[in-house]
Amino acid sequence: MSLWMVRAGRHGEWEELALEKGVVVIVWELLGDLSTVRTKDELREKIVEAYPGKPKGWVSNLLGQLWGFIREIKMGDLVGLPMKKQASIAIGKVEGDYEYKVLTEMAFHVRKVKWLRTIPRSEFDQDLLYSFGAIMTVCRIERNDAENRVKMLLSKEIKEEGQGKPALPPEIVDVEAYSKDQIVKYIAEKFKGHDLARLVDAALKAQGYITRVSPPGPDGGVDILAASGPLGFDRPRICVQVKSGASQVDVRVLRELIGVMSKVKADQGLLVSWSGFNSKAIQEARDQFFDVRLWDSGDLLEAVFKYYDKFSDELRAELPLKRIYALVLEEE
């Protein structure tokens, strides 16, 4: 059994489709159906024909990825889907051979998958995040007993002390994702429990809201109240609940927030869960689009980046960040 990483589009555009349909998908639509391909030489010819003028290195790179997807991934292998729209990695088990299949209005290269669990990125050791951050659409993840360690995460066993500390592997990695993962782990360590609400509060204040943060302890479902205007009497009035635990928030917590919104006369609600949300919570939040927003660690991080310059000196000292630029190296 092997562990693979398969992305769902450069910007995560096929994530929901993959999870909903129980598949991993890749596009490269100019190649068409590859089910009759039997050798790497045949596949190389198809690539060169579909993408004329591409450098040999580009062709070889794509050849390795496609061959892995259609021939080397086996039934029973584990596959990880790094999410772009959540700060999580979905882990599944391969249950089907290669297919070329129409999903929605276009055709995809597909492998059927049973999705087992969506795990917050903060639960992975840094070396595993390096591997899942490789700038490839399809790759096998083998370093540092990766497969067995992912199995441990799936079974929620405690990771052994000292794992996950090797140096950066030689593959080109997604520098942005790598940097974000470092910051996420730092925030998870330095802003535990009620302190996470302080970070959410700073992001709201930076947008001009007047806020009130509940003290540590039982809060009645309200961590922060925020509103516009000089004294906080204007609309919108926002009720905020912040969850810093390691488990995804379910729809029950969302419904509780909606009930509390009515009690405190809030117009909208913001539910922040450091470890993300399960599918039912996400779907119900879509139905409540004009009333509720969900933030996971990735959304909070984006707010931190956007408003960091407006944070207090004290908070910036607790969370020291510096803007950098990096060369973008992405596949076509």
CA 95/CA 274 separation, integer angstroms? 31
The H or E element that residue 287 is part of is: helix 279-287
Identify each DSSP E strand in 76-193 by its residue range.
Answer: 78-82, 88-94, 99-103, 106-120, 138-140
Task: Determine the pLDDT at residue 166.
Answer: 46
What does the DSSP 8-state code read for residue 157?
P
Task: Determine the pLDDT at residue 164.
Answer: 43
Cis check: omega of the bond before 236, within 30 degrees of 0? yes
pLDDT tens digit sequence for 262-281: 999 999 999 999 988 988 99
> Comparing C-alpha atoms, which of 97, 91, 106 is closest to residue 35?
97
Which amino acid belongs to residue 5?
M
Contact criterion met (CB below 8 Å) for 240 and 270: yes
SS3 category, 207: coil
pTM of the model: 0.65
In order along its 332 residues, the chain shows pLDDT tens digits of 899 999 998 888 899 899 999 999 999 889 999 999 999 999 999 999 999 999 999 999 999 999 999 999 999 999 999 988 778 899 999 999 999 999 888 889 999 999 999 888 888 888 888 888 888 899 999 888 999 999 998 886 444 434 444 444 445 556 677 788 888 888 988 898 889 999 999 999 999 999 999 988 776 779 999 999 999 999 999 999 999 888 889 999 999 999 999 999 999 999 999 988 988 999 999 999 999 999 998 899 999 999 999 999 999 999 999 887 666 655 44
pLDDT tens digit sequence for 90-118: 999 999 999 999 988 888 999 999 999 98
Domains and CATH numbers, the chain: 3-173 (3.10.590), 195-318 (3.40.1350.10)
Task: Determine the pLDDT at residue 172.
Answer: 53
**Phi, psi (rounded to 5 degrees) for 126:** -60, -35
Contact criterion met (CB below 8 Å) for 238 and 230: no
